[in-house]
């Protein structure tokens, strides 16, 4: 009998979930005529949800992401590019 410990990470699922939410938020901001990058940066820096439109439920979606997790995923993605 082999007694192996399985190690798995939820990181990939978390990262993909964050990516999906960011894309949805980006598109909603764009559809409403906002500069999505400026609005998302404003939200990240202040954590003020009013930077994000309620269009297509974007504000509720982005608030599901922990800001530290969001920054971590963005930084990892940027440095891997």
pTM greater than 0.75 (yes/no): yes
Q: How many CB atoms lie within 10 A of CB 25?
A: 24
Cα(61)–Cα(69) distance, rounded to whole angstroms?
14
29, 36 contact by CB (below 8 A): yes
16-69: per-residue pLDDT in tens?
Answer: 999 999 999 999 999 999 999 999 999 999 999 999 999 999 999 999 999 999
Cα(77)–Cα(63) distance, rounded to whole angstroms?
20
Read off φ and ψ for residue 13, nearest 5 degrees: -65, -40
Q: So where are the chain's domains?
A: 11-80
């Amino acid at each position: 009998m082999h007694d192996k410990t399985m190690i798995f990470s939820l990181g990939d699922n978390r990262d993909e979930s964050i990516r999906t939410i960011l894309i949805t938020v980006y598109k909603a901001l764009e559809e409403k005529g906002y500069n999505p990058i400026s609005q998302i940066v404003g939200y990240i820096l202040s954590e003020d949800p009013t930077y994000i439109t309620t269009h297509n439920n974007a504000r509720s979606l982005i608030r599901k992401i922990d800001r530290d997790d969001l920054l971590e995923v963005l930084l990892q993605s940027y440095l891997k590019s």
